[in-house]
Chains A and B, each alone.
Chain A
Amino acid sequence: MANRLDAVNPTMNSTPSVTQAKAGNGAMRPANNGNVIKRLQSELMTLMTSPTPGISAFPTTDMTKWNATMAGPSGTPYDNLSLKLTISFPSTYPLSPPEVLFKTPIYHPNVDFSGRICLDILKPGGDGKEGAWSAALNTNSVLLSIQSLLGEPNNASPLNGEAAMLWDRDQAEFKKKVVARHQDIEFDV
């Protein structure tokens, strides 16, 4: 009996105060699927070794929840704005797409007021599905797509009808709305 228990919890089988030494490393390690973690680690590594200018992403304390920061592309109404996003990877990633949300309030035809983004690659793809997600995509490409969406909104399927209308008719007014809605935020740590 004792032996079996030892095997279950080997660290208890040690010296008087090992428990003190343990700073809580274990708590930080998410209990998620190891493959997802491995994949995300390698994505992070690529992101860091060859960073894309204007795009930056990093995990929070949970490896499957990332924060991202994106610079508004120049030549668009979002020029010089810094936009924050959250990326949440499902345990089936990369078979299912990550969930990406704008945290910074943004005025955009394809983004609703709670930050949800309407983008084909963020919807599950495959046979009989309308989405265009593929396991070959990665965080970097998702962020790049979103960045380009800022300059080229898909006005055919708007989440924000007014924005779609303004984009087509009055760019100056659109820009005003964008600036009015924008506010710089910090992520909660």
Chain B
Amino acid sequence: MAVTTALRPANGDDIFSSVFPPKDHTTPTPEATPNIGTLASPGGAFGGFDISNNAADEAAKLNRAWSIATRFLTLSAGLTVQSRNSTHSPDIDHALHFLLDSPSARKDLLDWYMHEISTHFRHFTLPELSFWQQPIPVDKTHEVFAKTVQVLRQAQDVYLSTGSDHEDQQDLEEFMARIKQDFHVLVLNSLPRQRIQKTLASYLFQSIKSSLENSSNPEKCTKAGHCQCCTNLDLDALADLHAVGLGGSLGQRAFAHAVHKFIEGPATERRCFQVDWNHHTSVIAKLRSWVEDQFLPSIQQAISTLTSESTIELPLDQFMSAAVSSFGRQRVSALFDYVNSWPASEGAILDIREYINANGPGEKVQLCSSFTDQIQSRLLHAGASTTEILSVYMNVISVFKLLDARGVLLEKVAIPIRSYLRNREDTVQVIAASLLAEVDENGEVHAHDLEKICSDITIEIANSAVDAQDDRLLNWNDMEWVPDPIDAGPNYKSSRSDDIVGYILGLFDPDDFIKALAAAFGEHLIRSFDTELVKELRLVELLKSRLDATKLQQAEVMLKDMRDSVNLNRRINPTHHMPQGAPKPTPKDVQAALPEDGITVVSLWERFRGRMERQEFSAALHLVARHRNGLYFPKRARLSAEAIQNSPDPATENPGVHFGAKIVSGYFWPQLRDLNFAVPDQIKQHMAHYEQAFTAISGQRKLEWKHGAGTADIKLEFEDRVVEENGIEEWKVTLVDAFGQSNYDNTTGASVAELKSSLQMDEDLVHGALSYWIGKKVLYEKSPGKYAVLERLDMHVEQIDETQGDLEVFEDIDPETKLLRENAVMYQNFIEGMLRNQGAKEISGIMGITGMMRMVLPGFNHSDDDVKWLLDELESKGKVKSNAGGTLWAVV
């Protein structure tokens, strides 16, 4: 039985072919060579009914049926629906039935027809789908699939149509179902499978995304409190895909890709799940309920349609955790912004916490590394100021405490910030200054130099508890001790009270920190007029509880010095009880001090003792308070204007100079600027008096005046105005005082040289002070080089501009730098000796030049930069040289 399936002419014509049947039909053998019967063999059965058993007849019958069936099934050229009905006849039915009944014939027919189909498919269908040979642009996926589905559908109709009246033909239908299956395989094998899958995934992803976008209504979701956005896919399109064979395992895989991609991005990056800035709550719960209630059911429905299997059960848990992970990763990638905007970003932080808690330790590691990258690129560079970094550090502490109460994560992420801060030279100063800054009731920070203050620290200090207990490791009676968490790093320290203050102080070696603090503290105390020192005392106590208490001795001595000075001032100047600078209380102050529920006269007097006379106090009290049952209550009436004016004005009542001194124990205080000049006579008298009294009281202690730290309040009266200046440095006051002396003649003025000799003051200082007073329009340059008092403003000539520049020239040199300059030669000898005898060295590092200098020279506390300056000087003298990179220095 030869079956030939040669190619047919492509432009075959139905009419023509009905007359001249196409050649490629197998012509059943009997028609060509009729069966003339076989000779009955001698041993054969003689006659009977079972003649059909004849093998030749069987073959002929089979051949005939085959011929009829194949002729019926042969596909004509093109993709138009074949009119198989027209050629349909009972013969065909019969033939098909006959063939399909026999398993071997059925298989042959199947093979033959598949071959027929594949040939046809390759010739007519595949060219229609040629676009699959090129990559499909993303925006074309929709069209591509519409076209593909249409073409395949058409082809399938052609291949599988069996004529209308075959309903009862069970076996034919089965046959066609089988053909359909094989056809789908053929389709998938003929097209680039990978590309189809990818394109299908992209197509499905886009449909899911656009359906979500179309149905999304954030306002509604916000109102409802949970997200109602749904993803309704076009189920018909999915059914179509399934019908043309694209819904099988390939379709499922593509669908899985699409859903995954959707969860990674669009599902979670939506307004419905944005950070809750208003209520500071986590939105993960919303996300979970959306996945469960909206997303999963619709995906379930879609996948059932695509595969037409209703039994697929999607794993809710995995969807949930995938959604939470992708959501968490998005949050983590913006963690730095959230840290910056803390505490408003609490919602986002809670999201992240839930994310890392829900998933494993891998997420924590990812969180840490991601955040470290963020701070490296966005914070830890030269462009960020130390105060900024410090306040971010404070936020990092709060945020990570919230993320992980045990502090393990914090320890991990804080390391780079800490080491960076340690390398910044001004960090310690900023912290020390921040610790000492003032906070008012509104939480506003006030300080001398606001730029150097990290207000977060100030506020934190103001709110933190003094009695922080620390270090649980050594407390062996602690029955609540637990081991360190399993993922803790080597530097992890479990502590119950590791509050923010502790973290800030922990940034530094306590010695360095205390040294810097002492400098800031000293400056603060010298400048402060506060006699109570409540805040300062509290700060010292606070630090004592956290740092080594013995190391704070210096600060305590300073505080004690201040208190002693106040007492001493009282004893030496008994007439001036007033602390320097604090105005005498007026009746208004007394009124303000009266509490609503009354106060006894004794306890009220306690507050004003030392600030005013007892008689004045009683007078003021009677003016503003009502007396009832031994208690004083504030009067309802407001104070009359007259009463205020009557209140004694300290300046007019006690003319002359108020003199107050602060005794500091030289050993414990940081270096004060020492200036020498002749102070005004009035002051000198006071100083002599004070010195006398001090010697009488304190015996052996030696008093040494530090004029560089002195300040004064001064009132200058002119013909047309009064200038009042508070807290002016002593040398400035001294200079202006020289213009008020009897030997000064305002008609000629005074030159710098004259001033210098009469005041025995440095020329720099004279210039600085002159510039200052000229800037204040107190003095002016009468003639070149001569300065005089500007009695009336209308005499003023604009000259300030050129002097403004060097107004503060003198102030730039701080005592440390001065010390460095003075000792430069000695230091350079040291460095030379070191380099000669120890070989080439770097500046920094433990064994570096700075480190060695500190070791061999106890008083040496200059920085690497100062050492660099010394080295540069030496290099210019040709004594040392550095290597090409400038890192290694050696003697010549």
Contact = CB atoms under 8 A, between A and B. Distances in A.
Interface residues of A, number: 46
Interface centre among A17, A44, A49, A67 (most CB of B within 10 A): A17
B846 A21 contact: no
B509 A14 contact: no
A28 B832 CA distance: 21
Interface stretch (A51-59, A88-96, A111-119, A165-173): A51-59
Contact of B506 (A14, A60, A84): A14
A66 B546 contact: no
Given A16-B495, A18-B506, A69-B836, A11 B846 contact: no
Contact of B838 (A5, A49, A58): A58
B506 A16 contact: yes
A58 B836 contact: yes
B548 interface: yes
Contact of A20 (B415, B495, B837): B415
Given A1-B476, A12-B474, A16-B503, A23 B509 contact: yes
A21 B856 contact: no
B837 A68 contact: yes
Contact of A48 (B505, B509, B510, B830): B830
Category for how many chain B residues contact A: 35 or more
Contacts of B829: 48-49, 51
Interface string B816-859: 00000000001001101110111111000011000110011110
Contacts of B546: 14-15
Contacts of A74: none
Contacts of B847: 61, 189
A59 B474 contact: no
Nearest to A38: B858
Contact of B422 (A15, A21, A188): A21
Contacts of B547: 14
A189 B503 contact: no
B477 interface: yes
B596 to A, nearest CB: 43
B640 interface: no
Interface string B697-718: 0000000000000000000000
Nearest to A87: B837
Interface in A2-33: 2, 5-6, 10-25, 27-29
Contacts of B846: 23-25, 27-28
B184 interface: no
Given A51-B829, A67-B838, A187-B838, A17 B509 contact: no
Contacts of B509: 18, 21-23, 25
B423 to A, nearest CB: 11
A68 B834 CA distance: 10
A56 B832 contact: yes
Contact of B826 (A16, A49, A60): A49
Contacts of B841: 189
Nearest to B830: A48
Nearest to A13: B471
Interface string B501-513: 0110111111110
B240 to A, nearest CB: 64
A122 interface: no
B474 A5 contact: yes
B475 interface: yes
Nearest to A28: B855
A63 B411 CA distance: 37
Given A15-B498, A63-B855, A58 B834 contact: yes
Nearest to B829: A48
B407 interface: yes
Contacts of A11: 510, 548
A189 to B, nearest CB: 5
Interface string B563-592: 000000000000000000000000000000
Contacts of B419: 20
A189 B890 CA distance: 12
B513 to A, nearest CB: 8
B418 interface: yes
A13 B415 contact: no
A16 B837 contact: no
A48 B476 contact: no
B851 A187 contact: no
Secondary structure dominating the interface of A:
mixed
B833 A48 contact: yes
A56 B837 contact: yes
Nearest to A187: B839
Nearest to B468: A15
Contacts of B833: 47-48, 51, 56-58
A127 interface: no
A186 interface: yes
Interface centre among A16, A51, A60 (most CB of B within 10 A): A16
B838 A20 contact: no
Interface string A38-50: 0001001101110
Contacts of B856: 41, 44, 58-59, 63
Contact of A21 (B407, B508, B851, B858): B508
B502 A10 contact: no
A6 B411 contact: no
Interface centre among B418, B548, B856 (most CB of A within 10 A): B856
A17 B475 CA distance: 18
Interface centre among A25, A29, A68, A186 (most CB of B within 10 A): A25
Contacts of B493: 16-17
Contact of A17 (B418, B477, B550, B838): B418
B837 A14 contact: no
Contact of B471 (A12, A29, A44, A47): A12
B488 to A, nearest CB: 11
Interface string B536-551: 0000000000111010
B470 interface: yes
Contacts of B471: 6, 12-14
B477 A2 contact: yes
A187 B837 contact: yes
B11 interface: no
B164 interface: no
Interface string B402-422: 000001000100110011001
B491 A14 contact: no
Contacts of B830: 44, 48, 58
A27 B419 CA distance: 20
Given A67-B838, A187-B839, A21 B474 contact: no
Nearest to B509: A21
23 contacts: A5-B474, A10-B550, A13-B470, A14-B502, A15-B495, A16-B493, A16-B495, A17-B493, A21-B508, A21-B509, A23-B509, A23-B846, A25-B846, A28-B851, A28-B855, A51-B833, A56-B833, A58-B837, A59-B856, A60-B837, A67-B837, A189-B840, A189-B847
Given A13-B548, A16-B498, 5 more contacts: A5-B474, A12-B471, A14-B470, A58-B834, A58-B836
Interface of B: 407, 411, 414-415, 418-419, 422, 470-471, 473-477, 491-493, 495, 498, 502-503, 505-512, 546-548, 550, 826, 829-830, 832-834, 836-841, 846-847, 851-852, 855-858
